[in-house]
Amino acid sequence: MGKPSYLNFDENKYAWKPDIDYRIDPGSYRVGKGEQGVLICEPYKSEIGRYWRFKTPEIARQSSEKIYALFLAYLKEGDFVGADMARKYLQMGYTRSRRYANYKGGRKYDAGDGYREFERGTGDEQKAESAAIFYDKWKLAEGHEQYAEMKKSWKDERG
């Protein structure tokens, strides 16, 4: 197996930039794939990221409920970028929890051994529960009718 794709990351070609305030300049925001831009786009990163936790199922439940409430608030304000970022944090709650459920310490690759993939199934079972909690909220957000309409329009107009 080759190196993970994130090792070839080219930040100059990345659509999201840390020096843009996406509330002031929402036209610079791109939906992208999956969780792209989630750890860059301010002020949403700071507003939402402070609540993003998944250590235990109870913490994941509180976190996902708070982030989903932010998602709904952004929709109510007509703020698609905020809603999409909240959706991305819910998705990332799922994917990161699954990573920790699948791999001890959440590490998938062994950098000291040619980026060999670690054995699956060595992770934390509590994280699997956390992942399921985030998955349900992520899918609830993704299926929200207003959000789906806003996302389609945004992608059609801006990408």
**What would the pLDDT profile of 128-144 be if each residue is shown by its tens digit?**
999 999 999 999 999 99
pLDDT in tens, 80-107: 999 999 999 999 999 999 988 888 777 7
User: Do 70 and 82 touch, CB atoms closer than 8 A?
Assistant: yes
pLDDT in tens, 6-23: 666 677 777 888 899 999
d(CA 58, CA 135): 14
Pairing verdict, β 116-117 and 109-110: antiparallel
